[in-house]
Amino acid sequence: MPEIKVTPLGAGQDVGRSCILVSIGGKNIMLDCGMHMGYNDDRRFPDFSYITQNGRLTDFLDCVIISHFHLDHCGALPYMSEMVGYDGPIYMTHPTKAICPILLEDFRKITVDKKGETNFFTSQMIKDCMKKVIPLNLHQTVQVDDELEIKAYYAGHVLGAAMVHIKVGSESVVYTGDYNMTPDRHLGAAWIDKCRPDILISESTYATTIRDSKRCRERDFLKKVHETIERGGKVLIPVFALGRAQELCILLETFWERMNLKAPIYFSTGLTEKANHYYKLFITWTNQKIRKTFVQRNMFEFKHIKAFDRSYADNPGPMVVFATPGMLHAGQSLQIFKKWAGNEKNMVIMPGYCVQGTIGHKILNGQRKLEMEGRATLDVKLQVEYMSFSAHADAKGIMQLIRMAEPRNMLLVHGEAVKMEFLKSKIEQEFNCYMPANGETVTVTTNPSVPVDISLNLLKREMALGGPLPDPKKPRTMHGTLIMKENLVSSEQALKELGLNEHQLRFTCRVPVQDPHSDPDTLHRIYTHLKSVLKGYTIQHLPDGTVMVESIVIKVSSSTEDANTKILLLSWSYQLYSKGLSHWEPLRHMLGKVMSYGVVMLKIPSY
């Protein structure tokens, strides 16, 4: 039986360095190639030794697919292609291809130029890597080679994020990347066809969470920000450059306009301009409201939000600052946090998920003394709030996607083990669910399918008859599937796949016989002759007034029109055909001699 193998090289029972190796139909596909933000050494990269212990990866991979531009999904791509070695095709959407190199370069500057780390990719490596990228359009089927095809679907989450359907022959896998089943202020909800993949590989960041009302969350967020600036405090909102940043900027811009507030709002220098540029360029990826109003008013040209300069962090008085990155693991957001952490009037609002090992994760877990670089200790006195504006699907959204795609098996990645275990137990009430750790391989046996071609001429002839189409509201004489042989698939498996119940189908033939005897006497005479004529067959005279020859049932009844005429009813199941037509010959022979006076007239149809 065919098999699909899935091995997480990262994001197995963990969040960070997403990288999934899928082997399907003799093809090897790498899904995402991310970086772990909680590490500062080689552990930040996926473990490519599971693919090969040494040498380049080109000979072992048919293609690489990147779901979106977040660094935990694409951050290790230049390292993999240029330092480990991969020259094959890399697929991602147009927005991801445009934004990915900018974020990679920003992170490289922080890691290499400022921290002086080695064993990291260079600017030229980023450029060389991006030359290998082939852009994807939504709903476009791309033929990677003669057998492997991929198709991208809208995932929400961030600009350009995509789920991907991978198909080799009759086997298929869907990989979600990160997705959001709820539309927001600037992006739509994720959507996919009812493609019924053999395996659905889904993120499970919020596997045990069902979010409260979005309106309530927005109201609480605005209330916290307003209260802090009213008492003269500063609000730091760590975000990633594109995504939640635009969502919260639109929210604050509207609130500031309505309330006529004067406290300044700042965004990390340069990122607002870049965001505006990309949202204009890829406006078709936004939601319907943004697209409709874009000509009259660009929602991303903010009146109250200005570019941030580092010197502003020391200014007196209230302010709100959006700064990157979103987990306080480096960059401008961490620098501002260090300056403001000692004042209890200030507040940091964490709007998204933070991986273990980052400053964001530590303060959300109540840690108030932080060991910084150089053994310095930072006392955290400012208020810490977590308000989930994350663009990941919650537990309800994950179940919604399952109902939408109708997979045969489920595999969870990109989540915390304890939470994943809970969701896994719920999913297993319907079908198999797996949650492999990094380096662990899950093997799923798939059901082979055989393509059936129908004659075009036959189809045209049937359509030309012009008969009425069946009305599903009206009962029909017979509706089901007839399985004559089990050489393609077992009947139990076929019925389960089609959602049908098994029924026995029997055929009955009426044969008139001239015989003046009573019904029981006629049946007994038939039974006696069958026993003498058909040697080696199981023949029974049953109490219910029937004779059985193997699976053939013979009954006798009197004709209502002629007292001397008997009606022989011969009944058999369709399984008899599979045994061969020779079973009819002894029966023909027997019935020709059953009446001693030779008045039997039998006509058994030939098959």
Question: Is 605 among the domain residues?
Answer: no
Collect the ranges in the chain with pLDDT lower than 70: 269-273, 294-299, 449-454, 458-459, 462-463, 465-489, 574-607
CB 173 within 8 A of CB 198: yes
In the β-sheet with 19-24, what is the strand arrangement from edge to edge? 133-136, 90-93, 63-65, 27-31, 19-24, 3-10, 442-445
Same domain flag for 155 and 275: no
Residue 558, beta-bridge partner list: 566
Same domain flag for 419 and 520: no
CB 525 within 8 A of CB 554: no
Own/partner long-range contacts of 369-375 (Cβ < 8 Å, ≥24 apart): 372/338
Distance CA 71, CA 360 (A): 16
Please give the pLDDT value at position 576: 54
Same domain flag for 132 and 18: yes
**203 belongs to the catalytic site:** yes
Please give the pLDDT value at position 575: 60
Question: Is 602 among the domain residues?
Answer: no
Question: Is 604 among the domain residues?
Answer: no
Question: Is 458 among the domain residues?
Answer: yes
Please give the pLDDT value at position 604: 35
Question: Is 323 among the domain residues?
Answer: yes
Please give the pLDDT value at position 273: 65
Tell me the residue type at 289. K
User: Which CATH number fits the domain that encloses residue 516?
Assistant: 3.30.310
The pTM (predicted TM-score) of the whole model is 0.70
Question: Is 570 among the domain residues?
Answer: yes
Q: Sign of dihedral through CA atoms 225, 228, 231, 233?
A: negative
Please give the pLDDT value at position 573: 72
Single out the catalytic residue among 203, 218, 253, 416: 203
Please give the pLDDT value at position 598: 35
Please give the pLDDT value at position 580: 46
Same domain flag for 405 and 379: no
Please give the pLDDT value at position 524: 87
- Give the number of domains in the chain: 4
Residue 576, CA distances (Å) to 443, 533, 550, 607 in order: 40, 20, 10, 11
Residue 172, beta-bridge partner list: 167
Please give the pLDDT value at position 533: 76
Same domain flag for 190 and 44: yes
Same domain flag for 100 and 225: no
Residue 307, CA distances (Å) to 123, 233, 525 in order: 26, 20, 105
Same domain flag for 381 and 488: no
Same domain flag for 290 and 360: yes
Question: Is 606 among the domain residues?
Answer: no
Pull the structure tokens for residue 133.
Answer: 């990228």
Residue 571, beta-bridge partner list: 508, 553
Please give the pLDDT value at position 297: 66
Distance CA 603, CA 592 (A): 10
Domain residue limits at 405: 3-210+391-445
Residue with tokens 């540029």: 277
Question: Is 15 among the domain residues?
Answer: yes
Same domain flag for 134 and 203: yes
User: Which CATH number fits the domain that encloses residue 83?
Assistant: 3.60.15.10
User: Which CATH number fits the domain that encloses residue 346?
Assistant: 3.40.50.10890
Same domain flag for 364 and 425: no
Residue 463: CB atoms within 10 Å: 9
Same domain flag for 240 and 373: yes
CB 227 within 8 A of CB 345: no
pLDDT per residue as tens digits for the range 544-601: 889 888 778 888 888 877 777 888 888 877 665 544 444 555 555 545 444 333 333 3
Same domain flag for 190 and 335: no
DSSP notation for 71-137: HHHHTTHHIIIIIII--S-EEEEHHHHHHHHHHHHHHHIIIIIIT---S---HHHHHHHHTTEEEE-
Tell me the residue type at 167. K
